[in-house]
Structure 1
Amino acid sequence: MSERITPNRHDAEHYKPVPEQLLRPAAERETPDWRRFDVAARRFGELIAAGIAEATGQRQDIRSGTARCIAHVLGRCLGRESALADFARTGEGDYETLREEYLCLHNDEGVTASTQELIDWLGTHLIRQQHPDARSATYVEAYPPRLDNILVPTGIEVGDWYLRINVPGIYGTKDIQDLTETLGELSVKRDAALRAYLSLPDTNAMSGDIMQDFHDCYLGVFATFEEAIHELAEVDERERDVFTYAEDRQLVIEQMNPDYEALREQVADAFDLVEEEDRIYVFHK
């Protein structure tokens, strides 16, 4: 659910994560030194390959040691002062800063496909550390992992609204800034239904046609969860069926009370219900 930003939002009870558009991109660096990368890759290649083989065999994320080893090899391209090199040494680092560095390498004209795969492994590991429940951008999750397939929960500010959206891990600060401007042009701050849709964990805000995606999924708006569930679960029809069944057997039922919690679990397989500005917005899955 999105939130309107209040003047005292920096107080503890109103604290929000720093929105993406306020984060500084990584400092400008020289062209990556791929020769130094090649030297380090030959030295640590077997260790990295063993870590990836272990992860692949169990179809899981790489271990932290393998991630740090990959970061060390990649960090050789950028120097000892890089965030990647520091992460390799300490196992700690700011995700956004690390992301800007490894995406710079991922998109460099001198990068090889095998190096991009290493970056996919490292980036996905860092994302999973912060967002273990991050969804896939496609119906079938890619494995081995790819940065363009994992959706990263991302905070942005559009006007006076703080939004929590989901962006594929292949996009960096500049892309997210451009998306923020686009959402502003779409008047998302005045469109509660669109804000509700963007908050869904499997909505890809970078799909390329977010408004078409929205209209394809949007079903309607209701005053309460009970009203929405009543309609989606066709409670009136269920009640008629029960009354008819009872009458055919000479039984009298004076009152029925729907179990809305149980019905909500049933409709959750086909619909997403999102509360936004005290109303319930419903979307097809």
Structure 2
Amino acid sequence: MTERLPNTTPPGQAAPLHERPGATYPAPDREAPDWRRFEVAARRFGELIASGIAEAMEQKRDISSDTARCIAHVLGRSLGRHSALANFARTGETDYETLREEYLSLHNHEEVSASTQELIDWLGVHLIRRKHPDATSVTYIEAYPPRLDNILVPTGVNEGDGYLRVNVPGIYGAKDIQELTETLTELAVDKDAALRAYLSLPDTNAMSGDIMQDFHDCYLGVFATVEEAIHELAEVDERERDVFTYAEDRQLVIEQMNPDYEALREEVTDAFDLVEEEGRVYVFHK
């Protein structure tokens, strides 16, 4: 991408504080986005953005930083120069939570078009993966083109006197996360180590709608140690009996066998998740 975003600062004049690198300001309060200004910018930068998206589609990857900033510039035109989107477009500096609130306000607006939502999905997923490269998908197969409702974002919430990291689809903002925090408080998650262990799994969607049902569907049990859990899950006792029987049938004597717990762990984790929490090991079906 070779076209540069416009510089509106007059020659010889210092950029306003909100335009200097690292400065972020929330968008000014307004009843509705200025979609006319958005459309003007979208027409001007449409080919540039389309080219960047086409390249990402061809290579099955995220959009480039240049394409993301160009999309942010176009979206930022609807919110004004003081918006975080406009600042990101100018500087490349990110404040993820502030940017999230702005692009979600546009994504969820009653007048937004499907094509604009798709642009926001590309930008939002880019920003999420920039902050959380290992973010996983809600579904088994990752959506492509990417969608905000299909990517799980590691998100910190307060629980009692502590702090818990859960995973929330990228389509949810601060208000939804606050409501989730209140729900987890009602569920007394700070007193339920098994539930905390489940919520910590990278593919657990804390916004599924019925987290307790999901938890009970997946929860298998708790063990004192990892070795004890693997011993049970891999059915080590039954394997040993099979080996002894095989040896006896061939007039062989085996006095001792030692399980390879490291290799067995790789085997059992294909079907189970093992989570250590407060000195115990909680096991869940995948």
Normalised to the residue count of structure 2, the TM-score between the two structures is: 0.90
Residue 63 of structure 1 is matched in structure 2 by: 64
Deviations along 1:241-275, whole A, 9 cap, x unmatched?
A: 11111111111111000000100000010000000
**Distance in 2, Cα, partners of 1:235 & 1:197:** 25
Q: Per the alignment, in what secondary structure is the counterpart of residue 203 of structure 1?
A: coil
Residue 29 of structure 1 is matched in structure 2 by: 29
**Distance in 1, Cα, partners of 2:182 & 2:111:** 31
Residue 217 of structure 1 is matched in structure 2 by: 218
Tell whether 2:286 aligns with 1:281. Answer: no
Deviations along 1:29-53, whole A, 9 cap, x unmatched?
A: 2110000000000000000000000
**Distance in 1, Cα, partners of 2:181 & 2:60:** 35
Residue 254 of structure 2 is matched in structure 1 by: 253
Please state how far the C-alpha of 1:161 moved relative to its aligned partner: 2.1
Deviations along 1:129-165, whole A, 9 cap, x unmatched?
A: 1111101011111110000000000111111121010
Residue 74 of structure 2 is matched in structure 1 by: 73
Q: Per the alignment, in what secondary structure is the counterpart of residue 269 of structure 1?
A: coil
Please state how far the C-alpha of 1:28 moved relative to its aligned partner: 5.7
Change (3 A) 1:165 1:26: farther
Residue 43 of structure 2 is matched in structure 1 by: 42
Change (3 A) 1:134 1:241: same
Tell whether 2:75 aligns with 1:88. Answer: no
For 1:29, give the aligned amino acid.
Answer: D
Residue 177 of structure 2 is matched in structure 1 by: 176
Deviations along 1:178-232, whole A, 9 cap, x unmatched?
A: 0000000011111110000000000000000000000000000000000000000
Q: Per the alignment, in what secondary structure is the counterpart of residue 266 of structure 1?
A: helix
Q: Per the alignment, in what secondary structure is the counterpart of residue 133 of structure 2?
A: coil
Residue 242 of structure 1 is matched in structure 2 by: 243
Deviations along 1:76-98, whole A, 9 cap, x unmatched?
A: 00001100000000111100000
Residue 11 of structure 1 is matched in structure 2 by: none
Residue 103 of structure 1 is matched in structure 2 by: 104
- Unpaired runs of at least 5, structure 1: 1-24
Residue 52 of structure 1 is matched in structure 2 by: 53
Q: Per the alignment, in what secondary structure is the counterpart of residue 242 of structure 2?
A: helix
For 2:238, give the aligned amino acid.
Answer: E
Q: Per the alignment, in what secondary structure is the counterpart of residue 103 of structure 1?
A: helix
Tell whether 2:148 aligns with 1:153. Answer: no
For 2:198, give the aligned amino acid.
Answer: Y
For 2:250, give the aligned amino acid.
Answer: R
For 1:143, give the aligned amino acid.
Answer: Y
Residue 134 of structure 1 is matched in structure 2 by: 135
**Distance in 2, Cα, partners of 1:268 & 1:57:** 34
Larger Rg over CA atoms: 2
Residue 12 of structure 1 is matched in structure 2 by: none
**Distance in 2, Cα, partners of 1:29 & 1:243:** 75
**Distance in 2, Cα, partners of 1:256 & 1:161:** 44
Q: Per the alignment, in what secondary structure is the counterpart of residue 157 of structure 1?
A: strand
Checking the alignment, whether the CA contact within 8 Å between 1:26 and 1:100 is kept in structure 2 is no
**Distance in 2, Cα, partners of 1:106 & 1:217:** 33
After TM superposition, where is structure 1 displaced by more than 6 Å over at least 4 residues in a row? none
**Distance in 2, Cα, partners of 1:28 & 1:256:** 70
RCO higher in structure (CA 8 A, sep ≥6): 1
Count of aligned pairs? 261
Normalised to the residue count of structure 1, the TM-score between the two structures is: 0.90
Checking the alignment, whether the CA contact within 8 Å between 2:69 and 2:92 is kept in structure 1 is yes
- Unpaired runs of at least 5, structure 2: 1-24
For 1:257, give the aligned amino acid.
Answer: N
Residue 196 of structure 1 is matched in structure 2 by: 197
Checking the alignment, whether the CA contact within 8 Å between 1:188 and 1:194 is kept in structure 2 is yes
